[in-house]
Amino acid sequence: ISPRSIVQDACASYATLEKLNERVKPAIDDLTRTTDFFSHYRLNLFHKKCPFWDDENGICGNIGCAVETLDDENDVPEVWRAKTLGKLEGPLAKHPGKQEQRNNPRRPLHGELGENIGESCVVEYDDECDERDYCVLEDESATSKGDYVSLLRNPERFTGYAGDGAKQVWDAIYRENCFKKSSFSHAANLGTPFSKSPAAQDFKQVMDAAGRQAQLQLQRAQRPNTPFVANTGYEIEDECLEKRVFYRVVSGMHASISAHLCWDFLNQTTGLWQPNLQCYKDRLHGYSDRISNLYLNYALLTRAVAKLGPLLRGPEYRFCTGDLSEDMATRAKVNEVTTQAASIPQIFDESLMFVNGEGPSLKEDFRNRFRNISRLMDCVGCDKCRLWGKIQTNGYGTALKVLFEFDNNSKNIPVLKRTELVALFNTYARLSSSMAAIGRFRQMVAAEDEAE
Ligand code: FAD
């Protein structure tokens, strides 16, 4: 089997996911844009300090990581400046607080959430973190339970947050939280043709469950003297599958953020919000590994959402207690998304991970590192970026928890918290939009090439 066939298989997975997304996107957009439950997120956005470096003044304190924005910021109108673009819009509604909840657990939330918002749909009860969580829950240590934010009023898009501040956070995410020396160092991997890159092999191994057997044969054929199962799990070159997947989840999230900020970009000359093709070319077009990582994340979340589907139909999950019709409407929309996600053959095969040798300890390491990444979100010096960074790390953390901690045959399946569900489905919606945006950008590049 030649490397060429690996790429073809990966392409087949790409095509399957793109086809799936044509059906998932309308359903997930409907769910996240039209229901109160999924369009409001509760988080502690302003009161947590960056745990890794001094972030007085909302950003890190040392001069080197002050947020730089556009060079000519002073030349653009105030409303287009990064500081303003990064600010949250709309009213923040306070959580009712523990005492009030205890006194009257069905009491509707007081606070403005925007027009026509059924308040009782967003009340949330105190919940505890457990050791199966892959991210630090918003309410873990806070006495105040944070604010509700309208996600519709604060879309993820270009904010102008850039420079040393943003770089420091990405660097910390990649360098300080990566497992030991990685062959996926983002600098090292640039320019590698996809067919020759380890990403192509990974893609095949994790995503193509149907071809798993063939892949085992391929491994043996390519390296007949190397034992297939090594202590660290599924060894490929000098990194095991789990460590690569970890890197790729982060890189895929980064690619998705880039896709959104390029797609919903503010042209500071005209003041219009529009796609920025050059931004896409600079960050994504030449980087097949980044796009591949984004697709891997889409496959991972598809699998988690599909796996969760039957559970969400159970009585443990209520989407809007107190308003039966809203509850039923939300439930029907959730059902549509999970049914679509389950409509393709399983592409991401989580059963390959954490199964051999030091699997369980590696899993804990994986979980702890992911929690660190979620903590790093408190170091992001732009409100909107921090909001979406927190939602997405929680969304991936929830997906990992569903994949690796939920045994559908067990009686002890944890019930997900509201913040986890909202984060999971909104992260799926983000990935779905990123895939659509990348598809449109590709067409724009092709049209440009044709015109030349
Ligand atoms: P960056 O995107 O900062 O990347 C830094 C380096 O990482 C690059 O030079 C490259 O070597 C490498 N790299 C880039 N992409 C990948 C990838 N996918 N995989 C692996 N390596 C990669 N800005 C907004 O306008 N809107 C937002 O909503 C927003 N949200 C953010 C959320 C977080 C958590 C963070 C940390 C930043 C956010 N930003 C946002 C800022 C944005 O991500 C960029 O940092 C900024 O636009 C500057 O981009 P850059 O070209 O310097 O490269």
* pLDDT per position as a tens digit, 179-238: 543 333 332 232 333 334 444 455 445 444 333 433 443 343 333 333 222 222 223 344
DSSP tally for the chain: helices H, then strands E: 14, 8
| pLDDT at position 98 over 90 | no
Q: What is the 3-state secondary structure (H, E, C) of 259-296?
A: HHHHHCEEECCCCEEECCHHHHHHHHHCCHHHHHHHHH
Q: Which atom of ligand 1 is nearest to the CA of 289?
A: 19
pLDDT in the model for residue 337: 98
C-alpha of residue 258 to centroid of ligand 1, in Å: 6
| Known active-site residue 382 | yes
| Known active-site residue 262 | no
180 versus 171: the higher-pLDDT residue is 171
Distances from the Cα of 1 to the Cαs of 220, 264, 375, 446, in angstroms? 11, 42, 43, 31
| pLDDT at position 107 over 50 | no
pLDDT in the model for residue 243: 76
Distances from the Cα of 161 to the Cαs of 83, 380, 420, in angstroms? 8, 9, 26
pLDDT in the model for residue 93: 64
C-alpha of residue 255 to centroid of ligand 1, in Å: 8
pLDDT in the model for residue 367: 81
| pLDDT at position 332 over 60 | yes
Pocket of ligand 1 (CB under 6 A): 156, 158-159, 161-162, 166-167, 169-170, 186-187, 251, 254-255, 257-258, 261, 283, 290, 380, 384-385, 388-389
C-alpha of residue 170 to centroid of ligand 1, in Å: 7
Q: Which atom of ligand 1 is nearest to the CA of 253?
A: 18
Q: Say yes or no: ipTM exceeds 0.85.
A: yes
Q: What is the 3-state secondary structure (H, E, C) of 145-185?
A: CCEEEECCCCCCCCCCCEHHHHHHHHHHHHHHCCCCCCCCC
Any residues with CB less than 8 A from the CB of 167 and at least 6 apart, and which? Answer: none
Task: Give dist(CA 86, CA 146) in Å, integer.
Answer: 19
Q: Which amino acid is at 281?
A: K
| pLDDT at position 429 over 90 | yes
| pLDDT at position 421 over 90 | yes
| pLDDT at position 122 over 80 | no
pLDDT in the model for residue 96: 52
Paired residues of 346 in beta bridges: none
Can you spell out the DSSP letters for 292-359? HHHHHHHHHHHHHHHHHHHHHTSTT--SSTT-HHHHHHHHHHHHHHHHHHTTS---S-GGGSS-STTH
Strand ranges (E), 8-64 = 40-43
Which position has the token pair 């007949």?
A: 224
Longest CA–CA separation in the chain, Å:
70
Mean pLDDT of 64-93: 62
Closest Cα to residue 442, out of 222, 285, 216? 285
pLDDT digits (tens, 9 = 90+) for 264-304: 999 988 889 999 999 999 999 999 999 999 999 999 999 99
430 versus 202: the higher-pLDDT residue is 430
pLDDT in the model for residue 73: 63
Strand ranges (E), 54-169 = 93-94, 147-150
pLDDT digits (tens, 9 = 90+) for 22-56: 999 999 999 999 998 899 888 877 767 888 877 54
Please check whether residue 64 is in contact with residue 171, taking contact to mean a CB–CB distance below 8 angstroms: no
pTM score, two decimals?
A: 0.80
What is the overall mean pLDDT for the chain? Answer: 73
DSSP 68: B
| pLDDT at position 398 over 70 | yes
Mean pLDDT of 311-323: 79
CA angle 289, 132, 254 (to 5 degrees): 25
| pLDDT at position 151 over 80 | yes
